[in-house]
Structure 1
Amino acid sequence: MSASLDVGLVVFDCDGVLVDTERIGPAVVAEMATEAGWPLTADEVRERFLGRPESYLYTEIRAHATAPVGPDWLDAYRVRVRDAFTARPHTMPGVRELLDALDGGAVPYCVASSGGHERIEHSLTVTGLWARFTGRVFSADDVEHGKPAPDLFLHAARTLGVPADRCLVIEDSPAGVAAARAAGMPVIGYAGGPTPRTALADADHGVIEDFADIHPRLGVPLP
């Protein structure tokens, strides 16, 4: 992790990378799946769904549920997650310092998340990050295939006019790492949340637990 990278764009995942939601969302899914007759734990939810789009989650819940799962299930899920995160909004440690350093070093960045636009905006707003990403927010809603397909990352790169091989992705999910690799983008795995390092072993530029470790890779100063 010592050599610097020639980076034209840093692509952040949102949940579990920018904002500390990956302890909240899986718990909500586990509760709602169990209510629908498919008993799951939060750890099982992370293993099955971390980094994947909400459409995949909904399809799987409907396939395994023994109780009716109507079209409003995702709406109810989003409300529960939003309310839980609003009650205790947190960014991941070191995120603000890294964004400050990128701004100071004039390194562009964006967010590309499997969450919907409404959820991304809410998460970034309640944590005070929204203004830093306005106009550079990309969602699985924008593409036909979400992670682990490369579509979302390639869409972000095309929109911002940066070649894929100059986009550095920071991801906390195996699906996100796979999407970055498929897009031909270098990727760093972030294990500062609940995702274990071993789950991110395919990240071709290593796995970190502290955002301070990224600063030298990007040639930006530590705070």
Structure 2
Amino acid sequence: MAALIFDFDGVVADSESLANLVLAEAVSALGHPTTLDDALTRYCGRRWSDVVIAIEGDLGAELPPDFSDALKAATLARFRSDLREVEGASAFIARFHAIPRCIASSSSIERLTLCLDVLGLASQFGQNVFSAEMVARGKPHPDIFLLAASKLGTNPESCLVIEDSTGGIKAAAAAGMESIGLCAASHIRAAHAERLRAAGATHIATSWQEVDTLATEFLQRQQAMA
């Protein structure tokens, strides 16, 4: 049975620029000047525990005890006011409503729940929202995608992953899944497609319209093999 696995930030929600801008501001306030591009390069697409290690390495010191809570509050507030979808995401999700699908993200369940509500997409995924909090290892390890396939009741080779980060693409490859590297959100910078290809992306798309074509072809191949 074919299934679609969506990363969330930078794929469904155009959230990476917002979240990383808030993060850059917070790290800068601690005395380590950090731009949006710095944050995107160093921290984007990683599990929070790994981001903390990276920030502390950059600072050369431990983060304040309240840093994570304060950052989360500031980020969620920005999402409530400014979050938008990646253009075309909701139309694609609605068009492929009959195909088993899920979210498999490095973000927390709390953040995913809020963002899906803000975007009006919670009903499209129901309980099929999976976070790296649920597995031992985050991306680029395959754990979250293997969990997703198991929960959807399908085999990894029958899953198509839609991702925007190199870590996510590597995780999909490690899980034995076909992947689309999507370069459509506002945080995408020059040469990102090349980095996704180097990480193992099966396909590259620059819009949800291109994803539509690639997903249709994938589903046709899966049906032919059934």
TM-score (normalised: structure 2): 0.88
**Match for residue 221 of structure 2?**
none
The secondary structure found in structure 1 opposite 2:162 is strand
Say whether residues 1:199 and 2:195 are aligned partners. yes
Task: Answer yes or no: is the 8 Å Cα contact 1:18–1:92 preserved in 2.
Answer: yes
**Match for residue 213 of structure 2?**
216
In structure 2, the gaps of 5 or more residues are: 218-226
How many residues are matched?
Answer: 212
Task: Answer yes or no: is the 8 Å Cα contact 1:50–1:175 preserved in 2.
Answer: no
Superposed counterparts of 1:86-101, under 5 Å: 86-101=80-95
Q: 1:71 to 1:152 in 2, by over 3 A?
A: farther
2:66 pairs, out of 72, 88, 97, with 72
**Match for residue 162 of structure 2?**
170
**Match for residue 42 of structure 2?**
48
Task: Answer yes or no: is the 8 Å Cα contact 1:37–1:67 preserved in 2.
Answer: no
Superposed counterparts of 1:68-217, under 5 Å: 69-103=63-97, 106-193=98-185, 194-195=187-188, 196-201=192-197, 202-217=199-214
- Percentage of matched positions with identical amino acids: 34
The secondary structure found in structure 1 opposite 2:16 is coil
Shift of 1:206: 1.5
> Which deviates more, 127-136 or 203-212?
203-212
Deviations 1:167-197 (A, max 9, x none): 1000011111111111111110000022232
In structure 1, the gaps of 5 or more residues are: 1-6
Could you tell me how far apart the structure 1 residues matched to 2:114 and 2:61 are?
A: 30
Could you tell me how far apart the structure 2 residues matched to 1:176 and 1:49 are?
A: 13
Could you tell me how far apart the structure 1 residues matched to 2:168 and 2:204 are?
A: 13
Could you tell me how far apart the structure 1 residues matched to 2:58 and 2:95 are?
A: 45
Could you tell me how far apart the structure 2 residues matched to 1:21 and 1:101 are?
A: 22
Shift of 1:131: 1.4
The secondary structure found in structure 1 opposite 2:17 is coil
TM-score (normalised: structure 1): 0.89
Task: Answer yes or no: is the 8 Å Cα contact 2:76–2:111 preserved in 1.
Answer: yes
Could you tell me how far apart the structure 2 residues matched to 1:113 and 1:147 are?
A: 9
Letter aligned with residue 209 of structure 2: A
Task: Answer yes or no: is the 8 Å Cα contact 1:38–1:66 preserved in 2.
Answer: no
1:17 pairs, out of 6, 11, 21, with 11
Letter aligned with residue 182 of structure 2: Y
Could you tell me how far apart the structure 2 residues matched to 1:11 and 1:70 are?
A: 36
Runs of 4+ in structure 1 off by over 4 angstroms are none
* Two-structure CA RMSD over aligned residues (Å): 1.7
Task: Answer yes or no: is the 8 Å Cα contact 1:188–1:203 preserved in 2.
Answer: no
The secondary structure found in structure 2 opposite 1:91 is coil
Task: Answer yes or no: is the 8 Å Cα contact 1:143–1:151 preserved in 2.
Answer: yes
Could you tell me how far apart the structure 1 residues matched to 2:141 and 2:162 are?
A: 16
